[in-house]
Amino acid sequence: GAVVSQHPSWVICKSGTSVKIECRSLDFQATTMFWYRQFPKQSLMLMATSNEGSKATYEQGVEKDKFLINHASLTLSTLTVTSAHPEDSSFYICSARGVFGQPNSNQPQHFGDGTRLSIL
Amino acid sequence: GENVEQHPSTLSVQEGDSAVIKCTYSDSASNYFPWYKQELGKRPQLIIDIRSNVGEKKDQRIAVTLNKTAKHFSLHITETQPEDSAVYFCAAISNFGNEKLTFGTGTRLTIIP
């Protein structure tokens, strides 16, 4: 149980392109999803917290107009990197938290497999 | 906000020896401390966690200790094996309901056969 699916796993695109990444909780409802960015040989940095049906909360320094987050259902959150540039190349990982008190809530977050984004 | 520091950044140990990774946190309200193992290009995997109401937890070759007074916690791996080679991250949550994880900077552990 507690499977989080993230797609695509790898994206290579030209500078200026917008890229959408999907994060799905497959066997549980996720009221909250988190988006992280990880540069090579660095730690995971939280970008934003996404709550179903409301606006995402962005961490300091993260441009909300560049990294659009939508969490329209209890099983799906999307991150769109708009007008991507080479400096946006990174490993993006989502995680999902189940409904507190429900199965799978013993762990605070379940991680997706990540998306490696390469902007040429 | 929470700040988590992790040491060492790299660690090499002979197969069969023990490895210890240490972390400190700044927010005294933090009450949950997970450890993750991440292999290259893959997602972090939870290997062990500890809550603030206990001082030690063990799961086979892996153990975690917590000193709330000093605000530090450590990961101990005994009888290390080559498959233990990976990057390990500690993390802290200041409020379980909020569940906003703050990660340490990571430790690259290499097990020498």
How far, in Å, CA of A76 to CA of A25, rounded?
7
Task: Give me the mean pLDDT over the B73-94 stretch.
Answer: 95
Question: A105 pLDDT band (50/70/90 cuts)?
Answer: very low
- The predicted-structure confidence for B49-79, as pLDDT tens digits, reads as follows 998 888 999 999 999 999 999 999 999 999 9
Q: Inter-chain contact A46–B46, Cβ cutoff 8 Å?
A: no
Query: How is residue A59 annotated by DSSP?
Result: P
- The predicted-structure confidence for B22-59, as pLDDT tens digits, reads as follows 999 998 888 889 999 999 889 999 999 998 888 999 99
Q: Inter-chain contact A116–B41, Cβ cutoff 8 Å?
A: yes
Q: Positive or negative, the Cα torsion across B67, B68, B73, B79?
A: positive
Confidence (pLDDT) at B92:
92
Please give the residue of chain A at the shortest CA–CA distance from B87: A41
Is residue A40 within 8 A of residue A110, CB to CB? The reply is no
Question: B101 pLDDT band (50/70/90 cuts)?
Answer: confident
How far, in Å, CA of A46 to CA of A119, rounded?
21
